[in-house]
């Protein structure tokens, strides 16, 4: 049975309310080479993770970021300190930045033939960093087909993810904002989140050596992506129930559930990611994981103040 | 598409701009008239032709006067700054005696520079004696006088599209031997000339016979977090050791061979396999190729008594997640590796990707003293040169020594290999991502062996640059 790991979510989730800040440090700070990563108070660099072409001629850019904080998340609203340029400043980027390296967190798709060079600009803790969405061939990726051969010459593919037993299957590094599933929740009332996942259970290792049978075939990761308050994930039922397979290289299916609880009213976005044996971000090779998006309107608790009231 | 060979070509074309670069040779040119036929061709044949001949790795041939003359200014710039031949180890610090030194002498550089300054004349064609041009592939070890390999294993051919994400091809193959044999030298090369354009690196992992688990290195520990290179500090079971699959050889673009210290080597046994890890980078044209490994064996009856282990000494003390190279910046990282045994280090090969700039390996001895082992100050992605120490110059350190690796990165437009200095760069296996480690072959010594060797060297007063520096 694969496990639903919540360990790396728990600390940021608990700490987020106390430490999340939208404070803007306007004083410019130097970014010293090899400065240590901080528990909190560090800056963020946008990270450009690659591009791929779609069948309809559009081109998609995969984006992530590097937070110089190993413990605490940072919240930066879309605006002067978190925007794209030129043009539309909001291209679906996160406003809730998790600690450390986060590969392939969202995509930006441009029309066929577009030549405009977009930049993602983040200012955090007084440090401004910007990166372009480049089309240099060196950054071409194949996010639905592993570039590393698995034992036997096969190629890993991302898991299929569903949020209803007979619902549509997602298989994409990150689903589009337009496809985000809308939900309504109430402050402090756990919102149920069910998911079904199917995977090829393939892995890759440099030497083709077997990997530990303790490795979960699928790891489900749930994170806050946007939203004004604290998000707590989990209610004590954090396991995936295997429906089929369970050994490496055999078709694998499982289902699981958790809950998401919101501390304050407002609009939130939640990332739900099925990470397969390639690991987070596919080990920075661009494949294989699948992320679904939820857009949650959180209402005040009954008898509580309306949204926005003090 | 920016492939590997185009980068070579671009670097060569850009060389004219480096004429006044720091570090250029400044010795007064010879006063006599110099000609290609009499003075330059012998130097090129000795130090340049193996790459700069038709069908070889370089983008232009320098075999004849007609071929070499158009490149005269570029040649001057490249040799005066010691970019070519690709021997980028610093000459003022660390070990300075090598088995495979391909660099030009100061006198040779002065001669080439003076010849260019004199107008790069041909001279009398009758003075020119051609050196035979090798046709097609060659083994560098054979060119360096070790003869052809005793055993060659070629991976299955596969095809890389013109534009595509990096790929990693990983077939497995038997090692075709019927009795245990000891390897004294290994070399990997692309299986055809076209493959030189796409093969970024190739590792031949050694799938072990259970009776050969002593091939697994356990003598190095890493400071900070472990990373997935050889040398994990755990105490593994026999089955786990078999699955460690040590590297029989690591090769990267521009590298030649590993030549183990006399009396040391790697044992291969019947039933074992090679598991290839071939990192392929698209080059703008569809190419079908593979890797092949050549093994030079000790004669029967001359088996060595010591094993040689290949270790990737990390330059990332905080693990892969700690690598942080901001856009348009110079950055550095460092790593600390603990020698758990008395250790001889027999070579140095820095490994980076496109933003690599320099690497220093330094020993911090148990008593606190430090010694620079080697420093490559001008790393070039296209030349992962392996600097193989002469046996009597290979540094030896007592157990408890820290091997401190400092890695420098140039993510600015000044780095000609940089595909995009505006990008943030972190750790990853892709060519556009970065990493940093020092590949070094090591041999472990017992306390008695270590004491004997130190005493022997002290008696001989073996001179090294490190000793002189101190």
| Surface of A (41-60) touching B: CB under 8 A | 45-48, 50
Q: Tell me if B244 and A139 make a contact (CB, 8 A cut-off).
A: no
* Beta-bridge partners for B91: none
| A306 interface with B at CB cutoff 8 Å | no
For the record, the structure tokens of A98 come out as: 């998790």
Strands B264-268 and B306-307: parallel
Q: Between these two residues, B71 and B6, which has the higher pLDDT value?
A: B71
Burial class of residue A181, CB neighbours in 10 A (0-12, 13-18, 19+): middle
DSSP code of residue A133: -
Task: Write down the residue that tokens 């006399």 correspond to.
Answer: B262
B235 — pLDDT class (breaks 50, 70, 90): low
Considering only CB atoms, which chain B residues are within 8 Å of A51? none
DSSP string covering B125-151: GGG--PPPPPPS---HHIIIII-S-SE
pLDDT score for B218? 82
Tell me what the mean pLDDT of segment A242-250 comes to.
Answer: 93
CA distance linking residue A46 with residue A128, whole number of Å: 10
pLDDT band (50, 70, 90) for residue B7: very low
Strands A191-199 and A252-262: antiparallel
Look at residue A10 and tell me whether its pLDDT is greater than 50. Answer: no
pLDDT at A28 over 70: no
E-strand ranges in A15-152 read 44-53, 59-67, 74-75, 82-85, 96-97, 100-110, 119-124, 127-132
Residue B462 has what pLDDT? Answer: 53
Q: Are strands A181-186 and A289-299 parallel, antiparallel or unpaired?
A: parallel
A172 band by pLDDT with thresholds 50, 70 and 90:
confident
Please report how the helices B72-80 and B4-14 are oriented relative to each other, as an axis angle in degrees rounded to 10.
100
Chain B residues whose beta carbon lies within 8 Å of the beta carbon of residue A156: none
How confident is the model over B324-353, as pLDDT tens digits?
A: 999 999 999 999 999 999 999 999 999 999
A142 touches chain B (CB under 8 A): yes
- Cβ separation A66–B228 shorter than 8 A: no
pLDDT at A85: 97
User: Using only C-alpha atoms, what is the Rg of chain A?
Assistant: 20
Per-window interface: A 86-115 vs B, CB < 8 A:
100-101
Contacts for A72 with CB less than 8 Å, ≥ 6 apart: A12, A15, A16, A19, A20, A39, A40, A99
- Between CA A196 and CA A204, with CA A199 as vertex, the angle to 5 degrees is 145
Is the predicted pLDDT of residue A296 greater than 70, yes or no? yes
* Residues of chain B found within 8 Å of residue A136, distances taken between Cβ atoms: 2, 419-420
- Name residues whose C-beta falls within 8 Å of residue B413's C-beta, 6 or more positions apart in sequence: B328, B421
| The two three-digit tokens of residue A210, written as one number | 């077997």
C-beta separation of A262 from A231 below 8 A: yes
Q: Do B277 and A207 touch (CB under 8 A)?
A: yes
Q: How far apart are CA A95 and CA A124, in angstroms?
A: 12
Instruction: Convert the pLDDT of each residue in B315-326 to its tens digit.
Output: 999 888 889 999
Q: Give B5's pLDDT tier (boundaries 50, 70, 90).
A: very low
Residues B369 and B87: their CA atoms lie apart, in Å, by 28
- What is chain B's Cα-based Rg? 22
pTM of the full structure: 0.86
pLDDT at B232: 47
Most confident residue range from A85-99, A164-178, A269-283: A85-99
- Nearest CB partner across the interface for A45, out of B203, B207, B424: B424
Across B279-297, b (16+ Cβ under 10 Å) vs e yields bbbbbbeebebbbbbbbbb
> What confidence tier does B22 reach under pLDDT thresholds 50, 70, 90?
very low
Question: Measuring CA to CA, which residue among B316, B158, B193 is closest to residue A147?
Answer: B158
- Distant-in-sequence, close-in-space partners of B305: CB < 8 Å, separation ≥ 6: B263, B264
Structure confidence at residue A310 (pLDDT): 36
| Mean pLDDT for the stretch of residues B413-431 | 95
pLDDT at A17 over 80: no
CB contact under 8 A, A139 and B422: no
**SS3 annotation, A147-208:** CEECCCCCECCCCEEECCCCCCCECCCCCCHHHCEEEEEECCCCEEEEEEEEECCCCCCCCC
What does the alpha-carbon distance between residue B190 and residue B59 come to, in Å, rounded to a whole number? 17
Longest dimension (CA), chain A: 61
pLDDT band at B409 (very low <50, low <70, confident <90, very high): very high
Handedness of CA B353, B359, B361, B364 (dihedral sign): negative
pLDDT at residue A34, rounded to an integer = 81
Whether A206 sits inside 8 A of B168 (CB atoms) is: yes
Mean pLDDT, range A29-34, rounded to an integer: 78
Mean pLDDT of A283-310: 80
Over residues A147-161, the pLDDT tens digits come to: 999 998 899 999 999
User: Can you tell me whether residue B51 is helix, strand or coil?
Assistant: coil
Q: What percent of chain A has pLDDT over 70?
A: 87
Rounded mean pLDDT, A115-124 = 96
CA gap B336, B368 in Å, rounded: 14
Position A280 scores a pLDDT of 87
Of B414, B435, B264, B236, the C-alpha closest to B328 is B414
Whole-number Å distance between alpha carbons of A105 and A127: 21
Sign of CA dihedral A291, A47, B277, B261: negative
Kindly report whether the peptide bond that precedes residue B343 is cis, defined as omega within 30 degrees of 0: no
Q: What average pLDDT is seen over chain B?
A: 88
**pLDDT of residue A2 exceeding 90:** no
For residue B418, the surrounding DSSP H or E stretch is none
What integer pLDDT is reported at residue B222 of this predicted model?
59
**pLDDT tens, position by position, A183-226:** 999 999 999 999 999 999 999 999 999 888 778 999 999 999 99
Q: What is the pLDDT of residue A253?
A: 97
pLDDT of residue B58: 81
Which pLDDT score, from 0 to 100, does residue B142 have?
92
pLDDT at B12: 37
pLDDT in the model for residue A149: 93
For B193-215, the pLDDT digits (tens) are: 889 889 999 999 999 999 999 99
Q: Closest approach of chain B CAs to the CA of A181, in angstroms?
A: 31
Judged by CB atoms closer than 8 Å, whether chains meet at A147 and B169 is answered as no
CA–CA distances in Å: residue B431 to residues A86, A285, B262:
29, 10, 35
Q: For residue B397, list its beta bridge partners.
A: B343
Are residues A295 and A181 in contact, defined by beta-carbon separation less than 8 angstroms? yes
Judge whether A208 is closer than 8 Å to chain B, CB to CB.
Answer: yes
Q: How confident is the model at residue B53 (pLDDT cuts 50, 70, 90)?
A: confident
Question: Does A247 contact chain B (CB < 8 Å)?
Answer: no
Contact A230, A207 (CB under 8 A): no
Alpha carbon distance, N-terminus to C-terminus of chain A: 46
Confidence check: pLDDT of B224 > 70: no
Q: What is the pLDDT of residue B229?
A: 39
pLDDT higher than 90, residue B289: yes
Q: What percent of chain A has pLDDT over 90?
A: 71
Q: Is A64 within 8 Å of chain B by CB?
A: no
> Phi and psi for B151 in degrees, rounded to 5?
-145, 130
* A122 C-beta neighbours (distance < 10 Å), count: 23
Residue A134 has pLDDT above 80, yes or no: yes
Q: How far apart are CA B125 and CA B36, in angstroms?
A: 9
Among B165, B326, B424, beta carbon nearest to A141: B165
Q: Do A151 and B170 touch (CB under 8 A)?
A: yes
Distance from CA of B337 to the nearest CA of A (A): 18
The lowest-confidence range among A19-23, A211-215, B294-298 is: A19-23
Element containing residue B189 per DSSP (H, E): strand B181-190
pLDDT of residue B196: 87
In 3-state terms, what secondary structure has residue B109? helix
- Min mean pLDDT across A35-49, B184-198, B228-242, B251-265 is at B228-242
Closest to B180 (Cα-Cα) out of B257, B241, B266, B307? B266
Separation in Å, CA of A292 to nearest CA in chain B:
24
| Facing A138 at nearest CB: one of B2, B168, B426 | B2
CB–CB of A136 and B429 under 8 A?
no
d(CA A163, CA A157): 19
Question: Does residue A69 contact residue A102 with C-beta atoms inside 8 Å?
Answer: no
Tell me what pLDDT residue B32 has. Answer: 83
Closest CB to A140: pick one of B165, B243, B244: B165
DSSP class per residue in B305-367: SEE-EEEEEES-TT-GGG--B-TTEEEEEEEEEEE-SEEEE-EEEEE--TTEEEEEEEEE-TT
Residue A73 in tokens? 């998340």
Q: B240 with B177: CB under 8 angstroms?
A: no
Residue B393 confidence (pLDDT): 96
Model confidence at A96, pLDDT cuts 50, 70, 90, reads: very high
DSSP letters for A277-309? TT-GGGGGTS--EEEEEEEEEEEPPTTSPPTT-
Contacts of B332 in chain A (CB under 8 A): 33-34
Question: Per mean pLDDT, which range of A3-7, A40-44, A71-75, A97-101 is the poorest?
Answer: A3-7
């Amino acid at each position: 049975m694969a496990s639903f790991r919540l360990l790396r979510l728990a600390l940021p989730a608990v700490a987020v309310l106390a430490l999340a800040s939208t404070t803007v440090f306007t004083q410019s700070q130097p970014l010293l080479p090899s400065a240590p990563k901080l528990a909190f108070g560090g800056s963020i660099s946008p990270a450009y993770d690659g591009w791929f072409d779609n069948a309809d001629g559009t081109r998609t850019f995969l984006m992530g970021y590097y937070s110089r904080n190993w413990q605490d998340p940072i919240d930066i609203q879309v605006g002067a300190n978190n925007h794209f340029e030129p043009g539309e400043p909001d291209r679906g980027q996160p406003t809730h930045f998790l600690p450390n390296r986060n590969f392939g967190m969202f995509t930006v798709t441009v029309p066929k033939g577009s030549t405009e060079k977009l930049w993602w600009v983040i200012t955090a803790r007084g440090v401004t960093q910007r990166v372009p969405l480049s089309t240099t061939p060196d950054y071409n990726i194949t996010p639905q087909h592993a570039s590393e051969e698995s034992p036997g010459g096969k190629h890993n593919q991302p898991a299929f993810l569903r949020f209803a037993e007979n619902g549509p299957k997602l298989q994409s590094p990150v689903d589009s904002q337009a496809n985000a599933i809308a939900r309504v929740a109430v402050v402090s009332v756990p919102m149920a989140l069910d998911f079904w996942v199917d995977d090829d259970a393939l892995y890759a290792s440099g030497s083709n050596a077997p990997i530990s049978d303790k490795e979960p075939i699928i790891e489900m990761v749930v994170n806050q992506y946007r939203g004004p308050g604290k998000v707590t994930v989990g209610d004590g039922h954090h396991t995936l129930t295997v429906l089929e397979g369970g050994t490496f290289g055999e078709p694998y299916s499982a289902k699981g559930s958790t809950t998401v609880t919101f501390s304050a009213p407002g609009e939130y976005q939640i990332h739900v990611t099925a990470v397969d044996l390639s690991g987070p971000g596919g080990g920075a090779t661009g494949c294989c994981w699948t992320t679904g998006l939820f857009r949650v309107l959180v209402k005040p608790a009954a008898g509580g103040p309306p949204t926005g009231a003090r | 598409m920016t492939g590997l060979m185009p980068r070579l070509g671009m670097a060569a074309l850009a060389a004219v701009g480096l004429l006044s670069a720091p570090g250029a040779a400044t010795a007064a040119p010879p006063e006599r008239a110099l000609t290609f036929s009499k003075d330059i061709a012998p130097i090129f044949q000795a130090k340049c032709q193996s790459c700069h001949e038709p069908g070889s790795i370089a983008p232009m041939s320098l075999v004849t006067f007609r071929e070499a003359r158009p490149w005269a200014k570029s040649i001057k710039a490249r040799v005066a700054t010691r970019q070519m031949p690709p021997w980028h180890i610093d000459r003022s610090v660390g070990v300075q005696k090598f088995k495979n030194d391909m660099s030009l002498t100061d006198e040779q550089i002065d001669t080439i520079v003076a010849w260019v300054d004199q107008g790069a004349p041909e001279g009398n064609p009758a003075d020119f004696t051609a050196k035979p041009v090798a046709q097609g592939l060659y083994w560098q070890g054979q060119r360096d006088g070790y003869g052809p390999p005793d055993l060659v294993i070629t991976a299955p051919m596969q095809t890389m599209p013109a534009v595509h994400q990096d790929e990693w091809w990983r077939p497995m193959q038997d090692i075709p031997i019927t009795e245990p044999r000891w390897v004294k030298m290994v070399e990997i090369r692309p299986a055809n000339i076209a493959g030189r354009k796409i093969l970024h690196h190739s590792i031949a992992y050694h799938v072990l016979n259970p009776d050969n688990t002593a091939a697994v290195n356990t003598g190095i520990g890493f400071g900070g977090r472990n990373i997935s290179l050889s040398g994990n500090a755990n105490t593994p079971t026999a089955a786990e050791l078999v699955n460690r699959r040590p590297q029989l050889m690591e090769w990267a673009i521009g590298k030649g061979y590993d030549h183990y210290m006399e009396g040391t080597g790697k044992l291969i046994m019947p039933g074992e396999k090679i598991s290839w890890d071939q990192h392929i980078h698209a080059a703008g044209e569809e190419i079908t190729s593979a890797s092949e490994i050549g093994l030079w064996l000790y004669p029967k009856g001359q088996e060595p008594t010591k094993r040689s282990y290949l270790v990737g000494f990390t330059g990332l003390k905080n693990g892969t997640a700690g690598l942080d190279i901001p856009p348009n910046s110079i950055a550095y990282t460092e790593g600390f590796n603990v020698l758990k045994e008395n250790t001889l280090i027999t070579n140095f090969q820095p490994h980076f990707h496109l933003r690599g700039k320099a690497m220093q390996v330094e020993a911090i001895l148990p008593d606190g003293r430090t010694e620079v082992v080697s420093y490559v100050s001008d790393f070039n992605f296209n030349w992962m040169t392996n600097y193989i120490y002469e046996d009597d110059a290979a540094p030896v350190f007592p157990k408890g020594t820290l091997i401190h690796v400092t890695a420098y990165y140039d993510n600015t437009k000044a780095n000609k290999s940089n595909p995009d200095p505006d990008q943030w760069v972190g750790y990853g296996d892709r060519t556009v991502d970065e990493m940093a480690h020092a590949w070094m072959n090591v041999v472990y010594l017992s306390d008695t062996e270590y004491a004997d060797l130190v005493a022997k060297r002290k008696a001989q007063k073996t001179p090294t640059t490190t000793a002189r520096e101190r």
